[in-house]
């Protein structure tokens, strides 16, 4: 078992990583001081797979749990669906001290967190992430949100969970394409923060897909890095923006190819390969670094080449992204493995870059 703390003063919280942890969540919540009612927010798929086990654990620890089951999919990450969660909480007379438990991937975690941030002006919530992406990224750090028809995650709040309970065994039921998509974020941590971790991933690239000890180690190191980054910069004024490596390109790829064509992690993987190429073009890093990044991404079965879009399409799409301030397009660019910088890139340079792709 590993415990990692996100250090945020009196809002600090543990991330616990352990195979089989799902069946211990009730006892561990009792240890955190929770009693009485608990709302489990999940979706039809994950609830069917793991809802019973979590409910059993909660009941055995003396909780009176109830379940709010949402439809499965990013298209349901909306304020309308969040309203149905409020309805469930009100119908079950959830009080301010009662916790919400998010059992699911990033969609459920972001939505349940958003509801927790706003119901009764804030109730405690626990993350029980069940996708690799959620275990290494979205469950840690308190970014909560729902989508708006005009854009993803436009309505939300920074609101930290009280604990994150990660059971890597639940990843065994996850579609392999989802596992690969989550690995994009794992690779990201190596590139932005830790060259040694990048080397570990290179050495174990095929073993990671077996969902065994190597993947658990990768989850642990990813959570350590995310905890350190969030502890240093909770609201993304500085280093937290490094977590957006590949995302400016990635969001454009997702939008231009039609949402759903590329998984987020696949678009981010391609985006990281492009960020590395741009970094080389700008003379910021050695070509060997870009080759290593491309090599690792490819070896876990993720894409590195974007579909064909015109330079105008790329730039127009990037202008709509959240990472644009005062008209400038900002990128996380790579200096060497483990070291990145946030840098503005001019449109002329970008146009030439995209024309060469």
CA 41 – CA 119 distance, rounded (Å): 14
Per-residue tokens: 144:
């909560």
Site residues for ligand GLY, 199-228, by CB under 6 A, read none
Chain-centre distance for alpha carbon 124? 20
Q: Choose among ligand GLY, ligand NAD, none what residue 288 binds, the Cβ cut-off being 5 to 8 Å by kind.
A: none
Nearer of residues 254 and 292 to ligand NAD, judged by Cβ = 254
Per-residue tokens: 139:
């469950």
Residue 146 CB contacts under 8 Å (≥ 6 apart), including other chains: 77, 78, 79, 81, 82, 110, 111, 114, 153, 155, 156
| Active-site residue, 204 included | no
Which of 37, 143, 152, 162 is close enough to bind ligand GLY by CB under 6 A? Answer: 143
| Active-site residue, 195 included | no
Nearer of residues 51 and 290 to ligand NAD, judged by Cβ = 51
CA 243 – CA 185 distance, rounded (Å): 9
Does residue 268 touch ligand GLY according to CB under 6 A? no
| Active-site residue, 323 included | no
In the complex, least distance from residue 62 CB atom to ligand NAD, rounded to whole angstroms? 26
Point out the catalytic residue in the list 28, 162, 240, 263.
240
Q: Choose among ligand NAD, ligand GLY, none what residue 131 binds, the Cβ cut-off being 5 to 8 Å by kind.
A: ligand NAD
The helix or strand, by DSSP H or E, that contains position 330, with its residue range, turns out to be strand 328-336
Q: Choose among ligand GLY, ligand NAD, none what residue 303 binds, the Cβ cut-off being 5 to 8 Å by kind.
A: none
Does residue 243 touch ligand GLY according to CB under 6 A? yes
Nearer of residues 65 and 104 to ligand NAD, judged by Cβ = 104
In the complex, least distance from residue 31 CB atom to ligand GLY, rounded to whole angstroms? 26
| Active-site residue, 148 included | no
Q: Choose among ligand GLY, ligand NAD, none what residue 282 binds, the Cβ cut-off being 5 to 8 Å by kind.
A: none
Exposed e or buried b per residue across 234-256, where buried means at least 16 C-beta atoms within 10 angstroms of its C-beta: bebeebbbbbbbbbbbbbbbbbb
Per-residue tokens: 125:
């919530």
Point out the catalytic residue in the list 264, 266, 277, 294.
264
Per-residue tokens: 156:
């939300």
| Active-site residue, 247 included | yes
| Active-site residue, 185 included | yes
| Active-site residue, 240 included | yes
Helices (runs of H) and strands (runs of E) counted in the chain: 14, 12
Q: What is the dihedral of CA 181, 187, 191, 194, to 10 degrees?
A: 150
CA 317 – CA 246 distance, rounded (Å): 14
Indicate if the alpha-carbon torsion angle 42, 209, 290, 196 is positive or negative: positive
Site residues for ligand GLY, 31-70, by CB under 6 A, read none
Q: Catalog residues that contact ligand NAD under the rule CB under 6 A.
A: 43, 45-46, 49, 72, 74, 77, 104-108, 110, 130-131, 133-134, 137-138, 141, 143, 152-153, 170, 173-174, 178, 264
Q: Choose among ligand GLY, ligand NAD, none what residue 298 binds, the Cβ cut-off being 5 to 8 Å by kind.
A: none
| Active-site residue, 224 included | no
CA 223 – CA 6 distance, rounded (Å): 9
Q: Which residues are catalytic?
A: 121, 143, 185, 226, 236, 240, 244, 247, 251, 264
Binding site for ligand GLY (CB under 6 A): 137, 141, 143, 236, 240, 243
């Amino acid at each position: 078992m590993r415990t990692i703390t996100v250090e945020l003063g009196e809002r600090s919280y543990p991330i616990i990583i352990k195979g089989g942890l799902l069946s211990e969540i009730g006892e561990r919540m009792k240890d955190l001081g929770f009693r009485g009612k608990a709302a489990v927010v999940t979706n039809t798929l994950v609830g069917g797979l793991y809802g019973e086990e979590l409910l059993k654990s909660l009941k055995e620890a003396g909780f009176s749990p109830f379940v709010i089951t949402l439809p499965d999919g990013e298209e349901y990450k909306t304020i309308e669906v969040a309203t149905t969660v409020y309805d469930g909480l009100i119908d079950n007379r959830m009080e301010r001290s009662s916790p919400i438990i998010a059992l699911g991937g990033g969609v459920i975690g972001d939505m349940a967190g958003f509801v927790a941030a706003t119901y009764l002006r804030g109730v405690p919530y626990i993350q029980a992430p069940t996708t690799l992406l959620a275990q290494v990224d979205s469950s840690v750090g308190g970014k909560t949100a729902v989508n708006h028809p005009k854009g993803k995650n436009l309505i939300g709040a920074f609101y930290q969970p009280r604990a994150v309970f990660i059971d890597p065994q639940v990843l065994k039921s996850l579609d392999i394409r989802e596992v690969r998509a989550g690995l994009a974020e794992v690779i990201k941590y190596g590139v932005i923060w830790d060259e040694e971790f990048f080397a570990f991933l290179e050495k174990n690239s095929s073993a990671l897909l077996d969902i065994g000890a190597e993947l658990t180690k990768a989850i642990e190191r990813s959570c350590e890095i995310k905890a350190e980054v969030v502890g240093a910069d909770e609201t993304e004024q500085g280093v937290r923006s490094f977590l957006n490596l590949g995302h400016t390109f990635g969001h454009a790829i997702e939008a231009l190819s039609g949402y759903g064509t590329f998984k987020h992690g696949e678009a981010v993987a391609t985006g990281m390969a492009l960020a590395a190429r741009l970094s080389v073009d700008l003379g910021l890093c050695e070509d060997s670094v870009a080759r290593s990044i491309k090599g690792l991404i490819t070896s876990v079965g993720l894409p590195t080449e974007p579909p064909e879009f015109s330079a105008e399409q790329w730039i127009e799409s990037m202008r709509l992204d959240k990472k644009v301030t005062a008209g400038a397009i900002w990128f996380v660019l790579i200096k060497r493995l483990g070291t990145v910088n946030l840098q503005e890139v001019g449109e002329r340079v970008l146009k030439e870059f995209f024309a060469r792709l």
